[in-house]
Amino acid sequence: MSEKVKVGIIGSQFQADIHAASFQIAPDEAEVVAVASPTPLHAQNLARRYGIPRVFTDYRQMLQEKDIEMVTLATPNYLHAQMTLDSARAGKHIVCEKPLCMTLEEAEEMVAVCKAQGVLLLYAEELYFTPKYVKAKEMADQGAFGKIYLVKQSEKHFGPHSPWFWDVERSGGGVFMDMGCHGIAFCYWFLGRPPIRSIYCQMGSYVHGDKTRGEDNSVCILEFENGAVGLVEDSWARRGGMDDRIEVYGSDGVTYANLHMGNALPTYSETGYGYAVEKAPSTKGWSYPVFDELWNYGFPQEMRHFARCVRGKEEPVATGEDGRVVMEALCAGYASAHAGKRIDLPFCPRGVKKPIDLWLGHNEGTSAR
């Protein structure tokens, strides 16, 4: 088969828009032919914006479309597992948004069922495709920094855009679940996927306690088998728009990368203007508009790569297995924050409905520990 991979998107809002835009920016390998979402107006709007011909309100109907080879899941976390299983059983390759799912059992089942059905489970961790971060990894792999002993990643803003993120029953946790999953995946990938030996986490609800039972700030230290340390900081309590950055320290060198700054135009405006950057609260006064925002994140490169994987042109660099490793670390992180001490891996809690339960358990109603 040489024609473009036909894609169906499940979901029709924030991340679904990014998926559709990414396929439009890098159109040579794939085309979006359908979107499915229970909110018809949103689905129709997305279809209109990107010229998507077919619209469904039930994703199971979309899965019956024979020509669709790959689906992307841009839906709340609690739906990822069931949607993956349904899609795999319908013979579709799957791009699943982060975090992979809600529990370790779900992660294992997703990986096993996709394998049994002979479909790819591709994990949408765009930091593996973020040009600045890819450049840092290329330099690290060439030995530029000698032996790496510390990798940091942090992502901070003032909180997510949709109500379900704040509802731990549907999200599985607060900022650590939502964005700590990026940092864990990043450190693991950057260091060449050494096993994670232990994790220590501190988290609390500092600003948004009226809105969520989830934590809105977290600090996480990962120790890897190769001796390196990962430091992952995340916040939904940080004012001033999106901040995403890495630091890499080795015996022979160091590099720093700020995903937005350096790609931004320091700008002052009395009147304000249309759009600066994701989650920027205002465009009046000083602001830092970013150009080619999706490209700077790596989303189009990520979707192009996944389509090429479906065609057998590339080997997947981000898979369900990565998502499973991250899920285990998330569970261990919440348990660590609850216990107030380091937790060793492997850590495989069974029967836990969502990672944050390992922290909330006896902490309901308390704030930062």
Residue ranges in contact with ligand NAD by CB under 6 A: 10-16, 36-39, 42, 59, 74-77, 79, 97-98, 124, 126, 162, 164
Please, what is the minimum distance in Å from the beta carbon of residue 17 to ligand NAD?
A: 8
Please, what is the minimum distance in Å from the beta carbon of residue 212 to ligand NAD?
A: 15
Q: Nearest 5 degrees, angle CA 20-CA 22-CA 23?
A: 70
Please, what is the minimum distance in Å from the beta carbon of residue 313 to ligand NAD?
A: 23
- Residue 177 DSSP symbol: I
Looking up tokens 């909110």 gives 39
Residue with smaller CB distance to ligand NAD, 223 or 244: 244
**Phi/psi-derived region of residue 217, left when phi > 0, alpha when psi is between -120 and 50, beta in every other case:** beta
Residue with smaller CB distance to ligand NAD, 98 or 213: 98
Are 8 and 71 in contact, with CB atoms under 8 Å apart? yes
**Amino acid found at 79:** L
Please, what is the minimum distance in Å from the beta carbon of residue 14 to ligand NAD?
A: 3
Residue with smaller CB distance to ligand NAD, 145 or 297: 297
Please, what is the minimum distance in Å from the beta carbon of residue 339 to ligand NAD?
A: 26
Are 286 and 266 in contact, with CB atoms under 8 Å apart? yes
Residue with smaller CB distance to ligand NAD, 17 or 328: 17
- Residue 180 DSSP symbol: I
Residue with smaller CB distance to ligand NAD, 35 or 276: 35
Residue with smaller CB distance to ligand NAD, 126 or 223: 126
Tokens of 174: 């607060």
What are the C-alpha distances in Å from 113 to residues 17, 19, 78, 316, 323?
Answer: 28, 24, 18, 17, 15
Residue with smaller CB distance to ligand NAD, 81 or 264: 81
* SS3 state at 95: strand
Please, what is the minimum distance in Å from the beta carbon of residue 152 to ligand NAD?
A: 18
Please, what is the minimum distance in Å from the beta carbon of residue 269 to ligand NAD?
A: 27
Distance CA 11, CA 19 (A): 10
Tokens of 273: 């203007």
Bridge partners of residue 286, in order along the sequence: 268
Burial class (CB in 10 A: 0-12, 13-18, 19+), 343: buried
Please, what is the minimum distance in Å from the beta carbon of residue 297 to ligand NAD?
A: 7
Q: Cα-flanking dihedrals φ and ψ of residue 262, to 5°? A: 95, -25
Residue with smaller CB distance to ligand NAD, 36 or 199: 36
